[in-house]
């Protein structure tokens, strides 16, 4: 396929590139082969060849090709409570709402219905790659994997490990550390089998829910499994004042230090939230090449602070964007980009110098930052990268300024799923506007 039209793509933390007319050429493996500008000598001949082969895809005037978004933090079983009980304290929200809902996913029919809705909603919002927390149920997590594969979404999925009886309810926890580790390994093996069988982009992830939910034996075993299978790791780290204090009281260590003690901070780790991380924690993250999933909407409700994105970036810690469904109510990365900018202004107004970030900075997090965190060559429109795209319409193009920076910011602040016309993952069309089901 060859796309012809305008593109926006992040070049760096501080710069988004705009090209008004290019050919973006996709090879049969779903990779970007070339991006040809209109002034290159073979532009016309490549376009003509694409027309002759009926593989030219003109992008309409007023629409733009953008990279697909990467969501680094989604609690898949929480989708059905998105927006509910967000006025409650974190502990109450977990115990009275979240854990009872997640326990229902032992019913695989229930899981299939919920996960089908979630995956399609994320794709429709331009999210092509997701790092998912599943539930404690191995079979339900495999249902999620199969739905992602059928819909065409690239998915990193973890079976949640949680076995500490002091912090988890008896109706929703692994019965022992032995069961937790055995089921985690079983899930890893079965997901590898599924991936080979259907050649989908699926990756198992080691997933301790967070330090309070796990016994020492489970934390240690999960670190060993991550090393054994060379897998990504995801958890929460310094999400709130309560979580931070819990780690200190139980281990006499910072939350990050506890995770590191059990070999859970690696160059394949993504830790969510981090609103309470200290400079020494950030130095440890930098040393381990561990990334942060910034969840700005959720942090407003449960984070007790604002993640200092610019400071964290200057400490050379990679950051991506996460919705944190359902601590975050919206499945839209656009909505979280907006909140990231707003929250940074609040941080600056509270006295932190030079804390404000721009739409360009947040766009980097949603694309390049997330791709680097997951070690996937995507998030940019350039040769050698996966063809993960969204085609987005500027609904005000005939009314407002069409200067590139103005268009870019307008897309960031006004795009909803109604303006996302098509979505592609590895060159395969997975969403057409007005159609709410999977791969086409």
Task: Please calculate the CA angle 9-122-399 and round it to the nearest 5 degrees.
Answer: 55
Pick from 270, 320, 318: nearest CA to 294:
320
Q: Do strands 127-133 and 63-67 pair parallel, antiparallel, or not at all (unpaired)?
A: unpaired
pLDDT, mean over the chain: 96
Classify strands 420-425 and 389-393 as parallel, antiparallel or unpaired.
antiparallel
User: Which segments of 289-369 does DSSP mark as H helices, in order?
Assistant: 296-302, 309-314, 333-349, 359-364
How far is the C-alpha of 80 from the C-alpha of 82, rounded, in Å? 6
pTM: 0.97
pLDDT confidence tier of residue 436, bands split at 50, 70 and 90: very low
User: What is the structure's pLDDT at 45?
Assistant: 97
3-class SS at 273?
strand
Please say whether the beta carbons of 264 and 327 come within 8 A: no
Q: With both helix axes pointing from N to C terminus, report the angle between 177-198 and 138-151 in degrees, rounded to the nearest 10.
A: 20
Distance CA 242, CA 13 (A): 32
At residue 5, does pLDDT exceed 70? yes
The torsion angles phi and psi of 74, rounded to 5 degrees, stand at -130, 125
Q: Which of 62, 59, 17 is nearest to 389 (CA)?
A: 59
Supply the pLDDT for residue 433. Answer: 80
**Nearest CA-CA partner of 385 in 5, 19, 26:** 26
Q: At 38, list the tokens.
A: 């209109």
CA-CA-CA-CA torsion sign (225, 228, 233, 236): positive
Mean pLDDT within 8-25: 97
Give me the mean pLDDT over the 59-65 stretch: 96
Residue 394, preceding bond cis, omega within 30 degrees? no
Q: List the structure tokens of 433.
A: 């506007």
CA–CA separation, 181 and 179 (whole Å): 6
Residues in the chain: 440
Contact status, residue 387 vs residue 26, Cβ threshold 8 Å: yes
Q: What is the mean pLDDT of residues 233-256?
A: 96
User: From residue 14, how far is each of 309, 358, 374, 440 by CA, in Å?
Assistant: 13, 8, 21, 36
How confident is the model over 79-100, as a mean pLDDT?
A: 93
User: Band of the pLDDT at 387, cuts 50, 70, 90?
Assistant: very high
- Among 196-200, 343-347, 389-393, the least confident range: 196-200
91 pLDDT band (50/70/90 cuts)? confident
- Cβ neighbours of residue 440 closer than 8 Å, sequence gap 6 or more: 429, 430, 431, 432
- Average pLDDT for residues 12-26, to the nearest whole number? 97
Provide the total of helices (H) and of strands (E) in the chain, helices listed first: 16, 16
Instruction: Delineate the domains of the chain, giving CATH numbers in brackets.
Output: 2-67+379-432 (2.30.40.10), 69-374 (3.20.20.140)
Coil, strand, or helix at residue 354?
A: coil
């Amino acid at each position: 396929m060859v796309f012809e039209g305008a593109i926006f793509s992040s070049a760096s933390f501080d710069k988004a590139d705009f090209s008004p007319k290019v050919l973006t050429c996709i090879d049969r493996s779903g990779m970007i082969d070339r991006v040809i500008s209109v002034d290159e000598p073979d532009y016309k001949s490549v376009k003509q060849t694409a027309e002759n082969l009926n593989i030219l895809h003109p992008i309409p005037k007023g629409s733009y090709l953008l990279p697909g978004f990467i969501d680094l933090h989604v609690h898949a079983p929480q989708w059905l409570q998105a927006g509910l009980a967000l006025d409650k304290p974190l502990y109450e929200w977990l115990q009275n709402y979240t854990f009872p809902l997640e326990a229902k996913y032992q019913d695989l029919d229930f899981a299939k219905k919920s996960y089908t809705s979630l995956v399609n909603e994320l794709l429709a919002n331009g999210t092509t790659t997701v790092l998912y927390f599943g539930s404690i149920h191995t079979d339900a997590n495999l249902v999620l994997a199969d739905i992602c594969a059928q819909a065409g979404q690239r998915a990193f999925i973890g079976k949640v490990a949680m076995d500490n009886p002091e912090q988890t309810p008896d109706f929703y926890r692994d019965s022992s550390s032995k069961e937790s580790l055995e089921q985690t390994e079983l899930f890893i093996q079965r997901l590898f089998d599924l991936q080979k069988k259907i050649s989908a982009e699926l990756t198992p992830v080691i997933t301790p829910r967070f330090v309070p939910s796990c016994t020492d034996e489970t934390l240690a075993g999960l670190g060993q499994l991550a090393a054994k299978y060379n897998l990504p790791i995801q958890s929460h780290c310094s999400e709130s004042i309560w979580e931070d204090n819990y780690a200190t009281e139980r281990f006499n260590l910072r939350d990050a230090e506890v995770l590191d003690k059990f070999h859970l901070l690696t160059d394949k780790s993504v830790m969510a939230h981090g609103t309470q991380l200290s400079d020494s924690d950030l130095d440890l993250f930098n040393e381990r090449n561990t990334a942060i999933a910034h969840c700005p909407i959720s942090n407003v409700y449960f984070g007790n602070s604002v993640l200092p994105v610019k400071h964290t970036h200057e400490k050379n810690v990679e950051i991506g964007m996460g919705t944190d469904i359902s601590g975050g109510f919206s499945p839209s990365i656009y909505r979280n980009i907006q909140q990231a900018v707003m929250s940074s202004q609040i941080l600056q107004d509270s006295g932190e110098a030079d804390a404000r970030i721009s739409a360009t900075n947040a766009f980097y997090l949603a694309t390049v930052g997330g791709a680097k965190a997951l070690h996937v060559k995507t998030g940019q429109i350039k040769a050698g990268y996966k063809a993960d795209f969204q085609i987005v319409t500027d609904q005000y193009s005939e009314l407002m300024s069409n200067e590139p920076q103005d268009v870019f910011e307008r897309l960031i602040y006004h795009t909803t799923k109604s303006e996302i016309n098509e979505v592609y993952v590895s060159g395969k069309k997975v969403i057409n506007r007005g159609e709410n089901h999977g791969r086409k």
